[in-house]
Amino acid sequence: MTTAIILVLVALGSVLFHILSPWWWTPIASNWDYIDHTINLTFWITGVVFTAIILFTAYCVFRFRHQPGRRAVYNPENKRLEWWLTIGTAVGVGALLAPGLFVWDRFVTVPKEASEVEVIAQQWQWNFRLPGEDGRLGASDTRNVSSSNPLGLNPNDPNGRDDVVIEGDALHLPLGKPVKLLLRSIDVVHSFYVPEFRAKMDLVPGVVTYVWFIPTRTGTFETLCTELCGAAHYNMRAKVVVEEESEYQAWLQKQKTFAELSARTRQAKGTQ
């Protein structure tokens, strides 16, 4: 009886903890509410199964408890029960997987009108690159990385001369416009995540991954690295500022291009 009561309390406590828990997500600030819906559906399905199993175990502990004169019965097979368990498991797994497949299809299908922004990760800093007036990002290669070219841009590519380089500073994005983030790492594996955007993706050396989203709320949001990347992993943070189009354009006009930064570096070396 004591064990059965404890199991019932575990099931009840788990449900109450989920309902009353203060550990909820931050308010969403992008179009990816699909992620929240999928997670909630997963919670409901796994929660119902977990509660049912715990309560069934409590029932069995109580119903088939030891009593004087009762003998144990060994029943190795029950085909009817096995069929019900197989069908129920298949339905549950399908219910868990199907919504995720639809969400993933949306997650990897980028709108044609989305602008491109490159995110470059390195121990332990976030850098960003935006296309210049030509609307195209220049080529880059980790073999070009140096103290004067930390992002590894190809100095001979004309498309990269007007690229806007944001090194160790905040990234600004216009409100309500889709953006595709091209994710690149120049050293180890990192992971880009902004909790309010619900968009998360790993950055793997030698591979360009991506995420896309539409900022739906103005404000300043924190970018985190959610992959252990070294001693200062905890401090690898940056800011993403979402603002109205006019404010975004005013900020963009103040930024330096790759050509301007390269000229400044050459000038600094010449004066030494």
Domain annotation covers residue 157: yes
Residue 133 shares a structural domain with residue 242: yes
Domain annotation covers residue 14: yes
Q: Is the pLDDT of residue 137 over 90?
A: no
Residue 61: which domain range?
2-66+76-108
Residue 206 shares a structural domain with residue 179: yes
The domain tally of the chain equals: 2
pLDDT digits (tens, 9 = 90+) for 10-45: 888 888 887 777 667 788 999 998 888 888 888 888
Residue 96 shares a structural domain with residue 143: no
Residue 84 shares a structural domain with residue 136: no
The pLDDT score that the predictor gives to residue 261 is 75
CB hemisphere CA count around 107 (13 angstroms): 19
Residue 166 shares a structural domain with residue 234: yes
The pLDDT score that the predictor gives to residue 265 is 62
215, 187, 218: which is closest to 203 by C-alpha? 187
Domain annotation covers residue 46: yes
DSSP of 78-93 = -HHHHHHHHHHHHHHH
Mean pLDDT of 188-215: 91
Domain annotation covers residue 71: no
Residue 88 shares a structural domain with residue 202: no
Domain annotation covers residue 100: yes
Sign of CA dihedral 148, 152, 158, 159: negative
Q: Domain end: 84, 108, 132, which one? A: 108
Structural tokens at position 133: 């007036």
Residue 92 shares a structural domain with residue 123: no
Residue 146 shares a structural domain with residue 167: yes
Write down the H helix ranges in 73-210.
Answer: 79-108
Strand residues in the chain grouped as ranges (E): 115-122, 125-130, 164-167, 171-174, 179-185, 190-194, 199-203, 209-213, 219-225, 237-243
Domain annotation covers residue 243: yes
> The domain that contains 224 carries what CATH number?
2.60.40.420
Residue 29 shares a structural domain with residue 152: no
Residue 69, helix vs strand vs coil:
coil
**pTM score, whole prediction:** 0.77
DSSP state, residue 186: S
267: pLDDT confidence band, cut at 50, 70 and 90?
A: low
Residue 203 shares a structural domain with residue 177: yes
Mean pLDDT of 83-103: 87
Residue 94 shares a structural domain with residue 141: no
Q: Is the pLDDT of residue 212 over 90?
A: yes
The pLDDT score that the predictor gives to residue 271 is 57
Domain annotation covers residue 30: yes
Residue 38 shares a structural domain with residue 153: no
Domain annotation covers residue 98: yes
**Centroid of chain to Cα 67:** 54
Q: Is the pLDDT of residue 215 over 90?
A: yes
Q: Is the pLDDT of residue 166 over 60?
A: yes
3: pLDDT confidence band, cut at 50, 70 and 90?
A: confident
Q: Domain end: 90, 108, 126, which one? A: 108
